[in-house]
Amino acid sequence: MNANVDQLGHLQRKLAYETDSADLHAALDRGEPITVIDGRSAEAHSAEHIPGAISLPHRSISAATAAALDKSSVLVCYCDGIGCNASTKTALKLLELGFQVRELIGGLDWWKRDGYPTHGSNGSIPVPSAINIVESSTGRAAR
């Protein structure tokens, strides 16, 4: 009986700290207060990321770089996938700063495997390069 209780507690705790791509996608569709955090490098994020994800490389996380994040939101952290631990490092640092965190099982790899879209220069829905628009003294935009 104790083994079942131990296992039950373990699995409940695991689900409290992890999510999969299907559950994340459904929660985002329902408008739940979730912020998706990409713990990989800014370059990797630019190339491909989960739509709406915020780039916050784990090596740069501090109280200052995380100050704009909403502490009432659950932060779902991800990286490339099963062979990458940037999501774990990201989640740990954000947890130490007082945020509610979960880790995306399988990261970007499993998100794509499950058929969900990605944004970025290599994404399934590419985002065009930014066009720099400078306001001229006449009030017209110049390129």
Token digits for 116?
């969900």
What's the predicted TM-score (pTM) here? 0.83
Where are the chain's structural domains?
A: 2-142
CATH number of 2-142: 3.40.250.10
Question: Are the C-beta atoms of 58 and 101 separated by less than 8 Å?
Answer: no
In tens, the pLDDT along 106-132 reads 999 999 999 999 999 999 986 554 433
Question: Are the C-beta atoms of 34 and 73 separated by less than 8 Å?
Answer: yes
Q: Is the pLDDT confidence value at 60 over 70? A: yes
Distance CA 115, CA 111 (A): 7
CA atoms within 13 A on the CB side of 4: 1
Token digits for 126?
């590419």
In tens, the pLDDT along 4-19 reads 888 999 999 999 999 9
Distance CA 112, CA 130 (A): 24
Token digits for 20?
């999969």
- Reported as a pLDDT band with limits 50, 70 and 90, residue 137 is very low
SS3 at position 102 = strand
In tens, the pLDDT along 61-90 reads 999 999 999 999 999 999 999 899 999 999
Token digits for 46?
């630019």
Distance CA 37, CA 101 (A): 10
